[in-house]
Structure formats: structure tokens, C-alpha cells
Amino acid sequence: MPDDSLIPRGAALGLTGCEACGLVVEHAAADAPCPRCGSRLHARKPDSLTRSWAYLVAAFILYLPANLLPVLHSSKLFKEWSDTIMSGVVSLWNDGSYDLAIVVFTASVVVPLLKMGALALLLVQVQRGSAHLPRERTRLYRILEFIGHWSMLDVFAVALLIALVHFGSLANAEPGAGIVAFGAVVVLTMLATMSFDPRLIWDATRIPARRATDRHPT
């Protein structure tokens, strides 16, 4: 494993990477436009931690109504009923569709919670200035980013749940407020992940910048 203390850092060498096109710019002023693509250059995403926390806390709060409020109101003749995500999973389970119940439960309850928990862990560690396991934490962030691309599956799982639970037996069905809250949780978690700057993980592990540049003069 390479010794991190010997690797010079871009910031110490006056280099800034463009987040949009990847161009490395020398001695760029903060907020200067990228010479290649025109997007704003900054050494770290501005207010990364504050933004990420704000989105994440909002997602945590909305996770409650997403699971407590009904995602579906249905009625048939004179009977009306509402289903939350959990009540839908339970009725799938009771119907004997164990595999589907597990898939829906995982995609719509466990995965969103794990994503939020993992990001909260990354944020807390950066705020504490932890230099512990930076590689593993960077990998965790990459996984979060990758899973984020598939966030529509979480919403799809809830849609699937509604279709499976009541398919064929419906006279009338309306989406409940829970589905809006659930969609908001998914979107807010994506925004929180995008706002986090993984380079902050490595900032705490840095050795004095001068030492790095001394050993690798440019």
C-alpha cells in the first residue's frame, strides 16, 4: 500500500480539478470559470458538509411520513382501506409471497435507511477530522454514488408493491401522501450524496502540504 504522506496533493501544488469535465487547472481563482467547459472551479465543493447535512436531515425527517402515511387509498363498493409500505409488505407475506415481500421490504425500507446511515457516518467522521480508514470510507462513498444511480428502483419497488397487493381487486385506487414523502426521501438522499465532497475524507489524513511538495518538486 503506498504511503499517503509521500503523495503530493493537488491543492498544495496549486492545482484544481474541474468537477464537470475533469480538466486540471493551475492556480485557478476560487469560482473562476473552467477554461474548457465554463463551470465554476473550486478546490472543494462549497459548503459541502452544510448542504449534505441539510438534505440528509430533511430525508431522515421525511422517512417517517414515508413509512407511516398510506401510499395507497383504495375502495371497492362500500369498503375503503389504506395501505402503508409496511402493511403492504405484511399482506404480501401473509399471502405467501415471501420472496416478493423480502424484495419490496429491502428496496423500500432497508436500502434507503442504509444509504442515509452510511452518509451520516461519512459526514460525522469528516466533521470529527477522523483519519481512520480513508480508503474504506472513500469506497463506501463510491458505493453510495453508484447505488444512487439506481434510486428509481426504490420508488419502483413501492409501485410494484401497490400493484401486487391490490391487482385485480380494485374498483378505485388513489396514491396516498406517503408516496410523495417516499419520493422526496429518495431525491433528498441523492442530493445529499451529490453534495458531499469525498476529498474531505482525505483532508483530515493530510500531512503538512509543504512536506509533500518538497519531496515532489514540480
| Residues making contact with Zn ion (CB under 5 A) | 18, 20-21, 23, 34, 36-37
What's the start-to-end Cα distance of the chain, in Å? 24
CB distance 59 to 189 below 8 Å: yes
Give the length of the chain. Answer: 218
- DSSP-derived 3-state class of residue 197: coil
Least gap, CB of 18 to Zn ion (angstroms) = 3
- DSSP-derived 3-state class of residue 72: strand
Tell me how far apart the alpha carbons of residues 175 and 179 are, in angstroms, rounded to a whole number: 7
Least gap, CB of 25 to Zn ion (angstroms) = 8
Least gap, CB of 38 to Zn ion (angstroms) = 7
CB distance 154 to 112 below 8 Å: yes
* Nearer residue to Zn ion within complex by CB, 17 or 112: 17
Least gap, CB of 33 to Zn ion (angstroms) = 8
* Nearer residue to Zn ion within complex by CB, 34 or 85: 34
Least gap, CB of 30 to Zn ion (angstroms) = 15
CA angle 136, 142, 147 (to 5 degrees): 125
* Nearer residue to Zn ion within complex by CB, 18 or 185: 18
The DSSP result for 164-206, as a single string, is HHHTTS-SEEEE-HHHHHHHHHHHHHHHHHHH--THHHHHTTP
Least gap, CB of 85 to Zn ion (angstroms) = 41
CB distance 12 to 212 below 8 Å: yes
* Nearer residue to Zn ion within complex by CB, 37 or 209: 37
Grid coordinates standing for 176?
396516498
> Which residue is associated with the grid cell 503538512?
208
* Nearer residue to Zn ion within complex by CB, 28 or 161: 28
* Nearer residue to Zn ion within complex by CB, 17 or 88: 17
